[in-house]
Structure 1
Amino acid sequence: MFRELLREKGLQDNSNVTVEESIAMFLLVIGHGVKRRVLGGIYIRSLETISRRFHEVLRLVLSLSKDFIRLPNQVENVYENDHKWRWFKDCLGALDGTHVEMTIPLKDQGRYRNRKQQITTNVLGVCDRRSLKFLYVLPGWEGSSLDSKVLRSALVREKDPFLVPTAPYRSTSYHLNKWSSHGNRPSNYNELFNLRHSLARNSVERTFGLLKKRWAVLLQPSFFGTNTQVLIINAYCVLHNYICEIASELDYPLLHEVDCDLAQQSNEVFDVDYEDVIINVQGGSQWTNFRDDMTKEMYSQYQVRSGRT
């Protein structure tokens, strides 16, 4: 149980608050946005006690990160029957960025204002294709930061750097709603690769959607300081993965809501600043040649199946 995990990490009863009360208060804050002053009235505890126990539980939840947010030791090559991923059988997962609203001091808000004029942090995430668990998370970047800048930061970090090859083709249609509208079909191998790459990457959009559905408080600014807000985002991802591991199956009703939201978004007018998406990561010629060879084989098989040879 989650309680026992935190006990093993060092959470103990004290003369003021039990372990169970500490966890309950923590979950009420991050799960429902309950203010500490309200908790003081519920549990008859001082604000200092509640704040201290909250941050203690937060620290211990974050200490579980390496246990629950980790890259797999090896890739399961079971992709033959998965039309989205069969061409990407050696990929660890899917990568994308999302924005989470934050409460930021007025003097710093300009840096955190994204292209939609919202005050947010840009969160980089990598997820597993099947379980929709996070494999890597990097929150904390200002909302004005481009996805590509956040990714470059992950690539050059001294501790646990994230390494990826060059992915989609530039200056080529990519996003799914470009294909779903007007019955568009790929006309060359670059377009086919980008279509199938986008289909595979859809798993990370579902993971972010599931995270925000499960922790709806993420959809509104927090009342904590900037650094604590970033730590709480990490904690959400740890708890998300914990729930995925202990659950016998995915929360399909919630996932259905996510899929409906994504379908609705894909039908809306697509308005994106292409400088604000990850469209290219500098890679060596070995990866580029590998991608090109795979893409040409992919397109050759596509032409045979569609009778276009």
Structure 2
Amino acid sequence: MNDRICKEQLRMDQRYFDKLCEVLVTRGDLVTTRNVTNRTIGAVFTRSGETVSRQFHTVLKVVMKIGKYYIKLVDFNVTYDGDNKWKWFEGALGALDGTLIKMTVPVKDRPRYRDRKGDITTNVLATCDPSLRFNHVLPGWEGSTSDPRILGDALRRPNGLKVPRNKYFLVHLGYSNAQGFLAPYKGIRYHLNLWRGSAPTNYKELFNLRHSSARNTIERAFGLLKMRWAILRKSSFYDKQTQVRIINACFFLHNFVREENLDDENLLNEVDDDLSNVEAFDTMEDEGEDFILTAQASPQWNNLRDEMSQKMFREY
């Protein structure tokens, strides 16, 4: 009826929703329903759950079909020299992390999907660039599965995560500091909440502060994703395969919105407020082409991190 209602119901205004419909038809081959009056549609959709379900799955299948246009590998030649948070990390492709999304699974599967908080979830691995667009998504793993194990699976898949040997992603302490995956120093404060009112005093502290500031990009991207699509914030009644497809579809639609430059300022402010209130844990705890196939810690990669952080501190 108007942009306000369209945003409330569909999380985008009329212009962007029209553009999405056009993409679903032209690229996804969604067939437009013809010669049906609004009154008929209203009656059918109000009274027939079977009709709603059938149309839902039809559109979901089409959204999955267009996903390849919106979840795309990051450009391996990309540089972020003009970005104040990312310019310190030459060769970085973006940030990588996992996020937990609630699922409904059969009783026999619940122990495997139960995460550390006791919720039934899937652990979704994703990468994103500084513009908060996701470049790789892997949902479906059980909530109890560790982040490094999922990363190993993503690297070994034929159509999985591709990381050239001269590039890397920023990762958190739960991952090894390995070729292709640059982690912060352990035993040094890391989370942005821990830096309020203080400044770094050595090269490791400076590195962790700048690493946290840049890697926070993926935390904001996850926050924005879940803030926009309420279906990701609670368990649904669909079968497991459909739930995984819904998760993928939400990532696709997130990128569609980002590429169309829809104003996310208000939502991002809410996300940043939520992130600032998240408890920050000290980091004393342990946790074809030439692409990287494993993520194993190495002295060479630790030396590279030392060289990078010491150079940062000299310039600082």
* One of 219, 226, 229 as aligned partner of 2:233: 219
Aligned CA distance change for structure 1 residues 296 and 272 (closer, same or farther; 3 Å): closer
Residue pair 2:186, 2:284 contacting (<8 A) in 1 also? no
Aligned CA distance change for structure 1 residues 138 and 189 (closer, same or farther; 3 Å): same
Map 1:79-228 to 2 at 5 A.
79-80=81-82, 82-129=83-130, 131-163=131-163, 164=168, 165-177=180-192, 179-180=194-195, 183-228=197-242
Match of 1:71 in 2: 73
Aligned CA distance change for structure 1 residues 294 and 126 (closer, same or farther; 3 Å): same
How many angstroms apart in 1 are the aligned matches of 2:192 and 2:308?
24
Residue pair 1:40, 1:47 contacting (<8 A) in 2 also? no
The structural deviation recorded for 1:93 is: 1.2
Aligned residues: 275
Residue pair 1:101, 1:219 contacting (<8 A) in 2 also? yes
The structural deviation recorded for 1:149 is: 1.3
Provide TM-score, normalisation by structure 1. Answer: 0.78
* One of 17, 24, 29 as aligned partner of 1:6: 24
How many angstroms apart in 1 are the aligned matches of 2:148 and 2:231?
27
Q: Secondary structure at the match of 1:137?
A: strand
How many angstroms apart in 2 are the aligned matches of 1:178 and 1:255?
18
Residue pair 2:236, 2:243 contacting (<8 A) in 1 also? yes
The structural deviation recorded for 1:210 is: 0.4
Gaps of 5+ in 2: 1-18, 169-179, 288-293
How many angstroms apart in 2 are the aligned matches of 1:221 and 1:274?
31
Aligned CA distance change for structure 1 residues 152 and 74 (closer, same or farther; 3 Å): closer
Q: Secondary structure at the match of 2:281?
A: coil
Match of 2:251 in 1: 237
* Paired letter, 2:49: L
Aligned CA distance change for structure 1 residues 118 and 17 (closer, same or farther; 3 Å): farther
How many angstroms apart in 2 are the aligned matches of 1:191 and 1:246?
38
* Paired letter, 1:2: L
The structural deviation recorded for 1:257 is: 0.6
Q: Secondary structure at the match of 1:172?
A: coil
Percent of residue pairs identical? 46
1:258 maps onto 2:276 in alignment: no
Residue pair 1:84, 1:196 contacting (<8 A) in 2 also? yes
How many angstroms apart in 2 are the aligned matches of 1:269 and 1:246?
34
1:61 maps onto 2:49 in alignment: no
Map 1:270-281 to 2 at 5 A.
270=281, 281=295
What does the per-residue CA deviation read over 1:71-103, in whole Å, with 9 as the maximum and x for residues that have no partner? 2334443424x3311111432211111111111
How many angstroms apart in 2 are the aligned matches of 1:157 and 1:78?
28
Aligned CA distance change for structure 1 residues 149 and 168 (closer, same or farther; 3 Å): same
What does the per-residue CA deviation read over 1:27-86, in whole Å, with 9 as the maximum and x for residues that have no partner? xxxxxxxxxxxx996625643333222112111101111110112334443424x33111
Gaps of 5+ in 1: 22-38, 303-309
Q: Secondary structure at the match of 2:238?
A: coil
What does the per-residue CA deviation read over 1:245-300, in whole Å, with 9 as the maximum and x for residues that have no partner? 113x54101110111111111xx363899566xxx942666654433322221122
* Paired letter, 2:137: V
Residue pair 1:174, 1:198 contacting (<8 A) in 2 also? no
Residue pair 1:172, 1:190 contacting (<8 A) in 2 also? no
Residue pair 2:103, 2:243 contacting (<8 A) in 1 also? yes
How many angstroms apart in 2 are the aligned matches of 1:295 and 1:40?
61
How many angstroms apart in 1 are the aligned matches of 2:134 and 2:314?
34
Decide which structure has greater helix share.
1
Residue pair 1:71, 1:92 contacting (<8 A) in 2 also? no
The structural deviation recorded for 1:14 is: 5.3
Q: Secondary structure at the match of 2:122?
A: strand
How many angstroms apart in 2 are the aligned matches of 1:13 and 1:168?
48
CA RMSD of aligned residues (A): 3.0
How many angstroms apart in 2 are the aligned matches of 1:179 and 1:110?
34
What does the per-residue CA deviation read over 1:93-136, in whole Å, with 9 as the maximum and x for residues that have no partner? 1111111111111111100110011111111111111x211111
